[in-house]
Amino acid sequence: MLLLRFLTESQLGTWALFLAVTTIFETTKSGLLKNAHIKYVSSSFDASEKSAVASTSLIINAVISILFLAFVLFFGNWLGNMLNAGKEFTKLLYWFFPGMISMIFFSHFEAIQQSHFDFKGVFTGHLVRQLTFSLFIFYHFLFDSGVALHYLALYQSISIILGTTTIFIYSRKYLLYHFNPTKIWAKRIINFGGYIFGSGLISNIVSNLDQIMTATYLTPKSVAYYHAATRINGFVDLPSYAASEILFPKMSLASEIEGINKVRYLYEKMVSILLSIVIPTAIFVIIFPKMVLNIIAGTQYSIAAPILQLYMLNSILGTLQNQAANVLNSIGKPALCFKLNVVSLTAKIIITYICLVSFGFYGAAIGTLTTTITAGIVWYIVIRREIGVSIQHILKYILDFYKITYTRIKFLIFKQPNKPN
């Protein structure tokens, strides 16, 4: 909210592209390592085996990060020019080097926490990280001082370092302090996570493709309006991402011990709860998009109202697909998930390009919704075939959720005070 008010549209567009690129890298790397780490550690009772998994995962994590830093050093200018963002974009990446190095340990400790079904450290680490960055921004906003974009990247780095320190404190009780990486576990992690890595890369490109293609075929300034809508849309999608973090280790364990029926139940129940929250929120935003944009982003971003409305529809329809990918990975079918993501990416590139040419500024948002509808149908057919998901069950759970919520609210409002004896 603060950045939208004191960065120019051009600056915000460059910042949005920086976030898109770094997010694609980090979440893709996380997809390769964290899921394998969680799956193998949560299902093992051997301390030396857990130590080998964690040690090997950390080594792979560091190697991938070093390769990315090398890519930025040699091809950062090329990437900035391709996105029409120039040297300012490359400068952001350079100033974020400390943050990328710190993310090696942040993501490692995060995986350790989640593999033990402990989310307190994850929550606190992210809280410290985001709160620190917000305080830096608030300082500039409070004293009405401008801020160079590269300082934002530096603030991100400092925030990640503090978040890493925090999550380490919470993770100490799970650390075995025995470093024993092995080639065998490296092969197993890469074999398991290879398809997830590819799926994660493609999925993250799909998520950010509207901004990337808008920058490439229009201007970074146009990206600023998409970024404003994306940030608001992020509030609505947040429960879905949080659910994925919690659901994967539970599904992995259920797949190993309780079988496919339990996996199906967890999927249907989680999707129904998410939709119960997302649907009313999305409807409100669809009805009052300009009001929401004016409050959060400012009146200068009101032309992004149609983009925001399309994104809200996308959030509703995309919930089934987001959790379906989690299911396929947890039941040991990452290759199928990868193939579906390849199809989704190919379709989105083609559809988004056609929509950009046909509709101009709003083309990427139209392309995103069209792709989600098409891909969502395919994903539902596949997930129904794999675990027997029923849309009727999901609708029933949604109704049950609303009934229970209504009953509890009614009780809280109309409950009778205890009568004295």
Amino acid occupying residue 51: S
215-259 residue pLDDT tens:
777 777 788 888 888 888 877 777 666 666 666 556 666 666 677
Q: Are 99 and 153 in contact (CB under 8 A)?
A: yes
Report pLDDT for 366. Answer: 92
Residues recorded for the chain? 421
Q: Where are the alpha helices (DSSP H) in 172-219?
A: 183-217
| Residue 366 identity (one-letter amino acid) | I
- Give the alpha-carbon dihedral of 296, 309, 403, 318, to 10 degrees: -110
pLDDT of residue 247: 61
H or E element that contains 267: helix 260-287
| pLDDT score at 164 | 94
Q: Cβ neighbours of residue 400 under 8 Å, at least 6 residues apart?
A: 272
The label of the residue with tokens 């943050």 reads 99
Q: How many Cβ atoms from other residues are within 10 Å of residue 158's Cβ?
A: 16
Low-confidence stretches of the chain (pLDDT beneath 50): none
220, 11 Cβ separation under 8 angstroms: no
Classify burial at 407, counting beta carbons within 10 Å of its beta carbon; exposed 0-12, middle 13-18, buried 19 or more: exposed
- pLDDT of amino acid 44: 63
Asked if 376 and 237 touch (Cβ cutoff 8 Å), the reply is: no
Q: What does the pLDDT read at residue 64? A: 87
Alpha-helix runs per DSSP H in 96-219:
97-115, 120-142, 149-171, 183-217
First to last CA, the chain: 54
pLDDT at 263: 79
Cβ contacts of residue 310 below 8 Å, gap of 6+? Answer: 362, 365, 366, 368, 369
Query: What DSSP line would sit under 22-55, residue for residue?
Result: HHHHHHHHHHHHHHHHHHHHHT---HHHHHHHHH
Query: What's residue 101's pLDDT?
Result: 93
CA distance 21 to 90: 11
3-state secondary structure of 421: coil
User: Taking a C-beta distance cutoff of 8 angstroms, is the pair 178, 53 a contact?
Assistant: no
- Encoded tokens for 90: 């490359």
pLDDT for residue 86: 76
Distance CA 132, CA 46 (A): 38
Closest CA to 285 of 298, 270, 295: 295
**163 and 129 Cβ atoms separated by less than 8 Å:** yes
Rg of the chain over all Cα atoms, to the nearest angstrom? 22
Q: What is the pLDDT of residue 288?
A: 93
Residue with tokens 């409002």: 413
